[in-house]
Each structure stands twice: as structure tokens, then as C-alpha cells.
Amino acid sequence: MPTQPSGALSGRRVLELADATGAYCGKLLADLGADVIKLEPPGGDPSRRMPPGDSSREGGEERLSFLYMNTSKRGVTLDLRKPESRGLLVELASRADLVIETLPPGTLDSLEIGYESLRQHNPRLVLTSITGFGQSGPHRDFRSSDLVASALGGAMTVTGEEDDPPVRLAGSQAHVAASTVAAVSSLIALLASSQRGEGQHVDISVQEVVGSVSHICGVGKWLDDGIIPKRRGTGLFASVPSGAYPCRDGSVYLMVNRPLHWVALAQWVHEVTGNQEILDPMFEGPSSSRLPYRELLDLFISDLMCQLDVEEVYREGQRRHIAITPVNTVAAVTADPHLAARGFFEQVDHPTAGRLTYPGAPYRHSKTPWRIQRPAPTPGQHNREVYCDELGLSEAALQTLESKGVV
């Protein structure tokens, strides 16, 4: 294993047999110092060509999404359909702490490299499976996608305008959320393995994750408050008032949850617009007490916002301790002075894509800092390093495997 900086997960080895469904899970661990080895079929994973990105430029086969989701990983190729690959995978897994996989349920078992088989060689191994509906249950073998998970998980039920068709969340939020939960769950399982010397199989259902993360605006709202959520534009049923409000030069997003936040907002509206009605005590208390009046309150708040610029609203809202933020374009985010002052964005040089700007640390550890260790690997970039230098294959043996399409 190559020498790595001291990260929170330095010394841990992870095998990743994951497509775009779980690539972010491996990235989270790799950027914390784990040695994550990404296994792809010869020629590279199809997710390398997923938009957005410009594939017309020279060396532009890797799209931006892949480049971001696979930082800090090493990359090898391996065709699991070939019988010769099984021994290599078992050998890699015997040296690993964790395997992340997104194959259809039962695939690894059908290849005789499932969890029960792998744990015979490495009892401490943790296997984390990320699939649309989990490893068991009536929908286990159903096909899924980010869109399907968003719909069946409930997120699309509460996203969009009330009278319009449902809309999906931007990007791949279901898969990102599932990968995040998978990373956390894997770390818990690794801690247990360290303490007991016994691994376990972690089962992540993308649909269940979406249902969990949308608890505040989904089925949880019914369980907690007896409210059946539905699409309400940019507003939330768990926060009244809430939503995007137009200003003179853009829009801001506002959320009011706590009674004192409402009092501060109502006083602000009164001071600027002279509105006396907004100070009525019937609007005070938790968000649920304002739910019947949200359309009226939106009018009152809009009277305030339309008189001010985005920056004025943002600064004054912050001063009054109200949760309010600009609705920025992507260009505005990349030019944000606060993010620049925090050093959020990272410059990374890739051998084919060139120098690109990446989103930076999602959290900051003082003693074991997060960092991008290396750019996303090219297909099979570390084949010789892993198979020859670490597993002990000869150059001739590796060339034979390459000629057979195994690696």
C-alpha cells in the first residue's frame, strides 16, 4: 500500500464494486484517507460517460460527475464474469476491511464470492450492499434508479407546485443520500469489527433512505402532526412560513420554525411595511399554528422582500437570527466570498481532464484533515501497482489476464 497522509481512515482498505449508485460512499471514505480501490470492468465503468461534461474534447471520456465522485481512489479493472477473476477478488477482499457493492441482490452469491464466501477468508470483513430495495423483501429484484427511488421513497410527492406534475430533485440526490448513509453505516460496522473481530453484511435500501431523509416533509409529518404533506412549491409543511421569495434583484429562501424566529420576522415586516395585522398573536407559536394562514403570510412577507435587494435581506435576516439565504446560481456559488474565504473549493489536476475546480471538504477535522489524495483514476491505472506489486502477480501473468479480458 502506498504511503498516505494521516487521515481519519488511514490504514483502512476498501474495495469498491460500485456504479454511480454508490460511488459517493467510496469517495467519502477515500477523502478521509482510506485506501479505496475501485474495481471496474475492462475499458471502464459506464458511469464515466454520464453527464454533465464535455466528451468532445481530447481525453474527455471521463465526465465531471465521475471525476468528482471518484477522487482519492485507486483504480483497477476486473471482469467478474470471468472465472479467473474470482481468485483475484478473494485475494483483494482478504486484505480489505470493507467491500462496497451495488450489484443486483444475489449476484455475488451466484458468482460464489458472496459475503458468506468472503468471510471464510476474512472474518473481520464488512460488506456493504447498496441496492434499490435492499437484499430481501417483495421488491428485492425490481430494477431501480435515482428517479424511481425518489418517487417511491416519497420525495417527489412533496416536490413541485401543487397543480403541476411531480418533478425530480436536481442531480442524483437519492443516490448521494444512500451513499452517505452507507458510509456512516460502514464505519459503525468497522468499529464493531475492530472491537469484536467479526464483520457483518450492511444492507442499504435506497428507497428506505429516501423515506428516512424526507421524514420532515413526508410520512413523518403525518406521524408527528397528523398532516398529509403534498406539493407546495418551494415551501415546506414542517416550516411555516417557508419558501423562495423574490426580491428586487433575485430571490432568497426563508425558513421559520421556532416561535421566536416568527416574532423576529413579524417585527421586521411591521417595521418596514407598516403592516399591523402580522403582529396578531394568533400567528405566534409553532409552525403548525400558522399553517392555515400560510398564503396570507406569504403576501405579508412578499411585501417586505420586494422592497429590498437580496444582499440587504440576507444581512438583515442574519442580524435578526432568522434562517434566510440567497438563492444563488451556480456561478454565484463559485464566486461566493464566504466560500472563498473558507478555502472551500479545491484545484485538482487530472491526467486527461486537466485542472478543474472541485467542491471541497464537507467537514473539517483538526487532527486528521480531509483532503483529496489524488484525482479520479483512469481505467486500470493501478493494475500493475495492485496486482503485481501488492498481490505478487508476475508481469507475464498480468499480460495473460489482459489478453483474456479478465483485467
Domain endpoint, select from 268, 297, 326: 326
Flag whether 135 is in a domain: yes
> 182, 158, 156, 177: which is closest to 167 by C-alpha?
156
CATH number of the domain enclosing 317: 3.30.1540
Residues 201 and 263 in one domain: no
Residues 99 and 23 in one domain: yes
Which grid cell is 375? 484525482
Residues 281 and 377 in one domain: no
Residues 374 and 310 in one domain: no
Amino acid at 5: P
CATH number of the domain enclosing 52: 3.40.50.10540
Q: State how far the Cα of 23 lies from the Cα of 20, in Å rounded to an integer.
A: 5
Q: What is the DSSP pairing of strand 323-326 with strand 251-255?
A: antiparallel
> 388, 356, 360: which is closest to 62 by C-alpha?
356
Q: Supply the pLDDT for residue 339.
A: 92
Q: State how far the Cα of 226 lies from the Cα of 141, in Å rounded to an integer.
A: 34
Q: How far apart are the first and last CA of the chain?
A: 20
How many domains in the chain? Answer: 2
Q: What are phi and psi of 311, to 5 degrees?
A: -65, -40
Q: Supply the pLDDT for residue 4.
A: 46
Say what the pTM is.
Answer: 0.90
Residues 27 and 128 in one domain: yes
Query: What digits encode the pLDDT tens for the residues 272-326?
Result: 999 999 999 999 999 889 989 999 999 999 999 999 999 999 999 999 999 999 9
Flag whether 360 is in a domain: yes
Q: Supply the pLDDT for residue 275.
A: 97
Query: What digits encode the pLDDT tens for the residues 68-102?
Result: 999 999 999 999 999 999 999 999 999 999 999 99
395: domain range? 13-213+342-403
Amino acid at 220: G
Residues 115 and 71 in one domain: yes
Residues 353 and 302 in one domain: no
Residues 153 and 299 in one domain: no
